[in-house]
Structure 1
Amino acid sequence: MNKILKLAIAVAGSVIVGLGSAQADPKGKKVAFLITSPTNPFIAELTKNFVAKANSFGMEVTTFNTPFDVALQSQQVDDAIARKFDMIAIIAAAEGAIVPAMTRARDAKMPVIMVNTPPRAGTADLYLTFVGEDHTELGRIAGQGVVQALKENGRDSGRVALITGSLQEGVGPRRVVGFKEALKALPKVQIVATEDAKWDTAASERIAGQLYARFAPTGGLDVLYGMADNQTVAAIKAAEAANIPLGTKKGELIVVGSNCLRQGIEMIKAGKQYSTSVQIPARTGERSAELAADYFNGKTVPKEVILPVELVTKANVEKWEKPCSF
């Protein structure tokens, strides 16, 4: 009787182990990837690389997009839960508004990976991991570029305008905080305008034109910070249309950006943009997919993966020209 019982336990145990091993495999797992704007070059490149890398592990990815419509994104989370996806990866349209939907995902035992947009403080129990850069540091780097550009030409003051990404998203506000911190090195530098263009190129060009016209009667702007390089290129285009000289000398407009898009790299090489900073969507997308595979393989996943950043100017642009070629 004891032998039979032991045999039964051994068989049951082997079945349990076998089931565990079968489940610890990313192949065939279905991932819902919720993104913001698919027309934004950064998001488009990140999405492409996430999908490709996930597919290489055998995962199936369904992409849902929303033009920063928080209600729609919340509904998409509920959709993913109802359709019994194995995981949700999400670039949140708004760090605060997504919390109730993430709570529902947790209650449904649906693992969530936060991508690029940092999670709100105090929500660590709602997600598996966050993958992305320190956006406060990215803002600080952009501000350091401004300070550096001004100091190179013996300037210690200036009027600065910001054209930002979405300020409800979580990324934008953090970059503004970091940018302001860096500018404290030059107390006479003033931020005179902050305009939310939601990362959009056309809106950024329109806003830049309006800013140039607004400040022209009082001597113009000294610095324009475009939060992403598609925005800085738009601002440069508007400056050229308004016959505003670009550069770092007194009387010239200093333009700094971020995200190291190909256009920004080209503008730095041409001397029209002073700096950008390293934020490469391919690595964010690929790393996020790798962590999803690690989770399905039964590995321990770190709570956050913060990707390294660096200021890019003409001095080191060649180093980043290829990685920033999207």
Structure 2
Amino acid sequence: MGRIHKSITAGLVAAACLFTFGATNAVADNHTKGKKIAYLTATTSNPFIAKLASTIEEEAKAKGMEVTVLTSPFDPALQSQQINDVIAQNYDALVITPISERAAVPPLTAAKNAGLPIFIVNSPLAEGTEDLYVSFVGENHAELGKVTGEALAEALKDRKEAKVALVTGSLAEGVAPRRLAGFKEVVEKHPNISIVATEDVKWDTATAERVAGQLFARYAAQGGLDAVYGMADNVAHGVILAAKSAGVPLGTNEDELVVVSSNCMKFGIDHIRAGEQYSTATQMPTRTGKATVAAVVDFFEDKPVEKHQFLEAVAITKDNLDTYAEPCTF
């Protein structure tokens, strides 16, 4: 009888625990179920943006929320109008990757005044606007620039004089200027490295390929470039395609072009494996998307939400490629 009594008691306790767990989950779902989220971002023709948007949609759907994705081809005026439309359409939260760190401020101020909770993803707003949003989720882009600068310095450490060109993302918004500043801060400590050109290709692969081809032609008479910083792996991919077309050898030997990046994608993983790219870095859209939705859920559940959720910035080279290959392949 003692053993039977203990078994019944254990069963009742387990049932009670399951009931409590289920009730807790139900309460959590009640906070998010049916919530309408607007996600405003750049063009999803960019692979990073496309994966980030789809991750936010999938993660939100799993929590019973509905996400509407509105895109803009790096047009701040269009995104400002989209923010105004979101205000008028009674969404429960606004998640945004700003096209411009300054142009987005006036409409986001109107959104906040309308009582709309705002979450900034990946691309920060201008300094002094922290009161506009609940949370920023993404990498510290100055840190991404620094780890890329350190990787480049390591690759060029044996060259007496190294000419470097920068092929960047959009310098009108918050990511590229911060990444550039971090990169320059490190490179300036290495007198053998000189930045000879900076070209804004707005994260576009085809434009990067065209601009890189022009750079190779421009500097051919001066012995060529030693390295190119393609700010994202799709940009670096365009640089590598141009190098191959121009007959510029790729690698880390004295007469080879070193290519570094700071926004990992399948392009970069493949190029690093092939020895055509020296490094990339840990900006991973699935990680960012999951952290974003988690922050929105915490907000709806009245849990504390960190103001700045900075994700880890690490340089990726052949030495640690296997650790990051899967989350960087999309």
- Please indicate, yes or no, whether the TM-score normalized by the shorter chain is above 0.5: yes
| Aligned counterparts of 1:302 and 1:262: Cα–Cα separation in 2 | 31
Q: 2:52 aligns with which of 46, 49, 53?
A: 46
| Aligned counterparts of 1:24 and 1:99: Cα–Cα separation in 2 | 32
Q: Which residue of 1 aligns with 2:41?
A: 35
The alpha carbon displacement at 1:23 in A equals 10
Q: 2:126 aligns with which of 120, 125, 129?
A: 120
Residues 1:176 and 2:180 are matched in the alignment = yes
Q: Which residue of 2 aligns with 1:304?
A: 308
Q: Which residue of 2 aligns with 1:134?
A: 140
| Aligned counterparts of 2:234 and 2:294: Cα–Cα separation in 1 | 28
Residue-by-residue CA offset, 1:85-117 (whole Å, 9 max, x unaligned): 111000000001100011101110110000000
Secondary structure at the counterpart of residue 309 of structure 1? coil
Residues 1:265 and 2:274 are matched in the alignment = no
Residues 1:195 and 2:170 are matched in the alignment = no
**Any conservation in 2 of the 1:119–1:130 contact (CA below 8 Å)?**
no
Residues 1:101 and 2:107 are matched in the alignment = yes
Q: 1:214 aligns with which of 218, 221, 237?
A: 218
Taking a change above 3 Å as real, the CA distance of residues 258 and 23 of structure 1, as seen in their structure-2 partners, is: closer
Which structure would you say has the larger RCO, counting Cα contacts within 8 Å and 6 or more residues apart? 1
Letter in 2 for 1:99: V
Letter in 2 for 1:270: A
> What RMSD in Å do the two structures reach over aligned CA positions?
1.3
Secondary structure at the counterpart of residue 192 of structure 1? strand
**Any conservation in 2 of the 1:77–1:101 contact (CA below 8 Å)?**
yes
Q: 2:323 aligns with which of 287, 295, 319?
A: 319
Letter in 1 for 2:47: P
Secondary structure at the counterpart of residue 252 of structure 1? coil
**Any conservation in 1 of the 2:146–2:185 contact (CA below 8 Å)?**
yes
Which runs of 5 or more residues in structure 2 are unaligned?
A: 1-26
Secondary structure at the counterpart of residue 25 of structure 1? helix
The alpha carbon displacement at 1:287 in A equals 0.9
Secondary structure at the counterpart of residue 195 of structure 1? strand
| Aligned counterparts of 1:188 and 1:175: Cα–Cα separation in 2 | 21
| Aligned counterparts of 1:95 and 1:32: Cα–Cα separation in 2 | 19
Runs of 4+ in structure 1 deviating by more than 2 angstroms, as ranges, are 21-24
Q: Which residue of 1 aligns with 2:79?
A: 73
Q: Which residue of 1 aligns with 2:65?
A: 59
Q: How many residues align?
A: 304
**Any conservation in 1 of the 2:159–2:192 contact (CA below 8 Å)?**
no
Letter in 1 for 2:45: T
Q: Which residue of 2 aligns with 1:277?
A: 281
| Aligned counterparts of 1:205 and 1:44: Cα–Cα separation in 2 | 21
**Any conservation in 2 of the 1:24–1:296 contact (CA below 8 Å)?**
no
**Any conservation in 2 of the 1:24–1:297 contact (CA below 8 Å)?**
no
**Any conservation in 1 of the 2:28–2:301 contact (CA below 8 Å)?**
no
Letter in 2 for 1:161: A
**Any conservation in 2 of the 1:24–1:298 contact (CA below 8 Å)?**
no
Q: Which residue of 2 aligns with 1:228?
A: 232
Q: Which residue of 2 aligns with 1:8?
A: none
Q: Which residue of 1 aligns with 2:254?
A: 250
Residue-by-residue CA offset, 1:280-304 (whole Å, 9 max, x unaligned): 1001011101111111112121111
**Any conservation in 1 of the 2:165–2:228 contact (CA below 8 Å)?**
yes
% identical equivalent positions: 50
The alpha carbon displacement at 1:24 in A equals 6.5
Letter in 2 for 1:123: T
Q: Which residue of 2 aligns with 1:241?
A: 245
The 10-residue stretch of structure 1 (64-73 or 154-163) with the greater mean CA deviation from structure 2:
154-163
Taking a change above 3 Å as real, the CA distance of residues 22 and 132 of structure 1, as seen in their structure-2 partners, is: closer
The alpha carbon displacement at 1:185 in A equals 2.7
Normalized against structure 1, the TM-score is what? 0.91
The alpha carbon displacement at 1:84 in A equals 0.8
